[in-house]
Structure 1
Amino acid sequence: MFDPLSLAVGAGLLGIGWIVGRFGHRTAQGKAINAPATSALCGCGHDLSLHDRKAGACHAEHMRKVGMGTGMKEWARCGCRQYTGPTPLEELFAPPVLPPLDDGR
């Protein structure tokens, strides 16, 4: 009815699988949980939320040096003129409904 050899092999495979599952994936699982969320970035390095949807200009600012050797810095506007990152899914599947367009549609 029960074969002792088959039961021993099955128990051995179960034990090996448990050990590999318990200790083999511990580091990979910890890295996946603590990984930062990635967001879609434009070529200028800024997110879509910092770009104007109609005009396309980037509203982000970054610090730049002023003068030679003075060590002074100032805030300068990003020179990006159009969002070049991936297209959001909302724009692919459904065009924006509100606000209504002025061209009579």
Structure 2
Amino acid sequence: MATGPVVHRCGRGIIESLCASKDCQAAEWIGVGIGINTGPVYVGSIGSETFKDYTVVGNTVNVAARICGRATKFQVLFTENRERLIAPGETPYASIGKVALKGLKEPVEVFELIT
């Protein structure tokens, strides 16, 4: 498992890569939001003999996709699994509260990376 401020490295790395392009206006146009979650996943080739796709599936992936869908342009959101994602005191973040997500019975606390 990766150690250190994973959310900070992943989220900031993606945003910085977009903005490092010579045409930062293109990065602004893309306006990607980021959702990060941790947990078990199923990884492998899925499909038939004529079409295979290497992918990850599972509840962990679904939750990440749901919070990603709530993220605004260049916003990095992550789940309450923050103890596994962030080194204490190294990365500023704030709770945006418990959020009801499609497919889950209980709301999930979601946090925002402060950039």
What's the TM-score, normalizing by structure 1? 0.26
What's the TM-score, normalizing by structure 2? 0.25
**Structure with a larger share of its residues in strand:** 2
Higher RCO structure (Cα 8 Å, ≥6 apart)? 2
Q: Name which one, 1 or 2, has greater alpha-carbon Rg.
A: 1
